[in-house]
Amino acid sequence: MIYRTKLKIGEFSKMMQVTVKTLRLYEQKGLLQPNEVDEWTGYRYYSIAQMQRLSTIRTLQGMGFSLAEIKEFFDSDTSVPPLEQLDRKIADCERQLHMLQGRMQLLSSMRDSRKEINKMEKFSIQTLPSIIVASHREIIKSWQDFGPLCVDVIGPEMHRLGCRCPMPGYCFTVEHNKEYTPTNIDVEYCEQVEEMGHDSAIIQFKRLPEVPSALCMAHYGPYERFYESFTELFRYIEEQGYHIVGQHRTVYVDGVWNQKDPEKWLSIIQVPVNKD
């Protein structure tokens, strides 16, 4: 007589490194029934032979097959997926791999951009390359109208025109008012795009020339405190003997769209300068 080893569910769980909860789920799904259930105690026992079946289940799950699909394999007296299902899983893997590669590129671009910003000193001199932008210029009643303008008007129009924006993205505003005014603000919104498009009543495309030398400063906090950064920035310009040679840009990195706390908003002020 051959002695058959009986393993309690806890022992079987420990040896196979699978939780008891998972074993009960497999039992519920009809994938792995206990070899024996004591009618008096309700104890569940598993056999050594069931270790291979459990290993097969885990292997197929690792390949991306669902429990329902695995049960179909076992019900058809085979634990090997048909060729057509293997082909479908391979195609799924290829699609997911393509998606993950694209996601990784986006994440890498954003990480590298943030690293550059984090490494940036209080003030830095940078070259702003020539770029193509989609722009919209309008006189708005107040800055409170600017967010809805971007979300409800500019964004949808750029999408309609098929604009493609390189990652991690570069957008900025230029104020055309000759003096400060809290109302009737003449603002131009510009966002970098990959190629020139066809102008519409809302969006105009143009190529901006290179700015050989721009003094850049990071501003943390709400926009109502821009004056603090401008005070420090222009004092530095004067102390270092720079001359302003163009319209400044205000670049928006983090804002209300991804940071609820205004103290974490990040903007970059870029002022074209030269030095004798």
Q: What CATH number should be reported for the domain holding residue 30?
A: 1.10.1660.10
The CA distance from 150 to 184, in Å, is: 17
Residues 189 and 227 in one domain: yes
The CA distance from 42 to 183, in Å, is: 78
- Tell me the pLDDT tens digit for each residue of 19-69: 999 999 999 999 888 888 888 888 888 888 888 888 889 989 888 888 998
Q: Residue 75 contacts by C-beta under 8 Å, 6 or more apart in sequence?
A: none
Residues 53 and 95 in one domain: no
Per-residue pLDDT for 231 more than 80? yes
Strands of the sheet containing 36-37, edge to edge, are 7-8, 44-46, 36-37
Cα Rg of the chain, angstroms: 31
pTM: 0.52
* Strand, helix or coil for residue 194: coil
Q: 76 falls in which pLDDT band (50, 70, 90)?
A: confident
The CA distance from 265 to 229, in Å, is: 13
- Residue 215 domain-assigned (yes or no): yes
For 71, the domain range is 7-80
Residues 145 and 241 in one domain: yes
Q: What CATH number should be reported for the domain holding residue 234?
A: 3.20.80.10
- Tell me the pLDDT tens digit for each residue of 112-159: 666 655 555 678 888 888 999 999 999 988 878 888 888 889 989 999
Residues 113 and 137 in one domain: no
The CA distance from 125 to 147, in Å, is: 29
- Residue 2 domain-assigned (yes or no): no
**Confidence at residue 117, expressed as pLDDT on a 0 to 100 scale:** 55
Residues 161 and 115 in one domain: no
